[in-house]
Chain A
Amino acid sequence: MTATTMTSGPKKQHLTRSLAFVALPLVILIWALTDLSLGRTLVEWIPYLASGFMMNILISLLAMTFGTVIGAIFGILELAPYRLVRYPVVAYVQIFRNAPHLVLIFATTYIFPFEIVIAGNYLPFPDWVKAVIGLAIPASAYVAEITRGAIQSIPTTQWEAAQGLGFSRWQALRYIILPQCVRRSLPPWMNLFSSITMATALASLVGVHELLHAATDASTAVRRIDFTIIAYIVVMAAFFALCYPISRLTRRLERRFNAA
């Protein structure tokens, strides 16, 4: 789910991109200024929408954090010499990498209880946490594949050189192989980041108060067709503002690594 690919020349491409980046905010601004009553209503609702958007950012960051830690471990385990370790991990990765995000969010929402009991204490288990889990699962599966691929892309001569010096396999992985993987994994990891961020909007379907949900609330409350339209443009602009820089940076990194 990367941003669109441009086919024109580099300079024109740059211009188009900058234009795309300011286009949505510009539309919102001009429209709000030409119809001041609409503009005032929008300004009233902006804090509410912003609080929703904070939830998207929170879900995205947490899902990516857990997904990355678990995925990196699973990626290493996918290459473990023991079948008993490898097979379950490979199965996990294959299953969840190919499961639609929305299905996983629904599954975690309706499988987990609304509260959990830990040592006699009832702790609430809010829907947004379930959404984090629902997105962390596919994220971990993708990160596992990214990690496995990166490890396998390091030439075996690097392992051999490490082994010849007296590094154990674990030390070689830790000090020589994985540091080289970070560089190679960064572009696909950022692609995933932006894809997971966009997928946080799916959490609205299970009642999580995030941006899309907030926009729906707002348009229901205001009951103005022009407000409904501008509210959803704001939603798009917000996601765009978050995801677009990520995909730009990814492409720049990819180009730099390809050149190196």
Chain B
Amino acid sequence: MTVSPDNAMTTTDGKAQDHIVKLEDIHLSFGQTQVLKGVNLTVNKGDAVSIIGPSGSGKSTLLRCINALAMPQRGRITVNGTRVDQLTKESERIELRKRVGIVFQQYNLFPHLTVLDNIVLPPTKILGVNRAAAEKLARELLDKVRLSDKANSYPGQLSGGQQQRVAIARALAMKPELVLFDEVTSALDPETVGEVLQVIRDLVRDGMTSILVTHEMRFAEEISDTVVFTENGLIVDHGSPEQIFHTSTNPRIRQFVGGLGARGTVRDGEGI
């Protein structure tokens, strides 16, 4: 078991030093809106954790807390030994973000750069890696996401699925300790969803710690070590994919999972 939503101190198996991410009693509000109301989550090294739940339940905000794009008002966040909630200086947060990759729903590639340069720019400018080494790594990563032939294309010339695979390669070029995926297939045409999921599947198989917000239920079921169900800023339940998708007695989860229909996918019309 990798997740303990009710009490972060509890681990049913897995050793304490295996924790790569630990959230304890996270509270976060935007003005009057309480978005996270006491979230606890523990992720073990090398695991894939899927976060599912209705739109507006705080999934994106939760992910953004992990790499200090959002700062909670209360609670502890530990990422591989770093107390994220105590990072008051922007320079400290930047140090953390170098170690935690994030991929967004809208890919957000840099449109003025070629695919290759999109992947080369971050390690050269942020980590000071030399151009040749960064380019070598970039080509390996492009190979990995099966886009070697697109190195010199511009993002605008690629399909959504291809752009998203470049965005994943760009995140990986920073050699992150873990990667956060925020609904990375939600903006894609159905026919390109599969190729992006395949890339994530490979990553998870290679042992990359991954936290995914997703509406691809079949995929979540297939690759996750743990599935977390969020609602109204709380983790309502967690467990193995089997427990969440098939044997849960929680009526809200049954309703949410059941509402997916035959395709195993829910699109809740969430905007960007």
Binding site for B on A (CB under 8 A): 157-158, 160-161, 163-169, 171, 175-176, 179-180, 183, 260
Q: Pick the residue among B91, B102, B109, B110 that contacts A164 (CB under 8 A).
A: B102
B67 CB, nearest partner CB in chain A, Å: 7
Between A and B, 19 residue pairs with Cβ closer than 8 Å are: A157-B104, A157-B106, A158-B110, A160-B69, A161-B108, A161-B109, A164-B67, A164-B69, A164-B101, A164-B104, A165-B122, A165-B126, A165-B171, A166-B95, A175-B121, A180-B110, A180-B111, A180-B112, A183-B112
Number of A-B contacts (CB under 8 A): 57
Complex: chain A residue closest to B98, CB-CB: A166
Cross-chain contact of A167 among B69, B91, B112, B122 (Cβ < 8 A): B122
Q: A157-B106, A176-B110 are in contact. List 4 more A-B contacts (CB 8 A).
A: A163-B69, A164-B67, A164-B97, A167-B125
Determine the residue in chain B with the shortest Cβ distance to A164: B102
Check if A179 sits within 8 Å of B112, measured CB to CB: yes
Q: Which secondary structure dominates where chain A touches chain B?
A: helix
**In the assembly, what is the distance between CA of A160 and CA of B97, in Å?**
12
Q: Within the assembled complex, what's the spacing in Å between the Cα atoms of A113 and B104?
A: 59
Write out, one digit per residue, whether chain B residues 49-88 have a CB within 8 A of any chain A CB (1) or not (0).
0000000000000000001010000000000000000000
B110→A161 contact, CB < 8 A: yes
Complex Cα distance, B95 from A169, in Å, reads 13
Q: Which residue of B lies closest to A154 (CB)?
A: B111
6 smallest beta-carbon distances between A and B, as pairs: A161-B108, A166-B98, A166-B97, A164-B102, A165-B122, A157-B108
Cβ contact within 8 Å between B90 and A166: no
Once the chains bind, are A166 and B108 in contact (CB under 8 Å)? no
Q: State in angstroms the CA–CA spacing of A132 and B88 once bound together.
A: 47
| Contact partner, A165, options B91, B95, B112, B174, Cβ 8 Å | B174
**In the complex, B170 has a CB within 8 A of chain A:** yes
Across the two chains, which residue of chain B brings its CB closest to A158? B108
Chain A residue with Cβ nearest B67 = A164
Q: Is the CB of A165 within 8 A of B97?
A: yes
User: Which of the residues B108, B112, B122 comes within 8 Å of A160, measured between beta carbons?
Assistant: B108
Q: Which B residues touch A157, using CB under 8 A?
A: 104, 106, 108, 272
A260 to B156, CA, bound (A): 9
Measured between beta carbons, the chain A residues less than 8 angstroms from B126 are 165-167, 171
Question: Does B94 belong to the interface (CB within 8 Å)?
Answer: yes
A163 to B91, CA, bound (A): 11
Expressed in whole angstroms, the Cα–Cα distance for A168 and B170 within the complex equals: 17
CB distance from A126 to the nearest CB of B (A): 42
Provide the bound-state CA to CA distance between A171 and B111, in Å.
17
Give B103-130 as 1s and 0s: 1 = Cβ < 8 Å from A's Cβ atoms. Answer: 0101011111000000001100110000
The CA-CA distance from A204 to B94 in the complex, in Å, is: 55
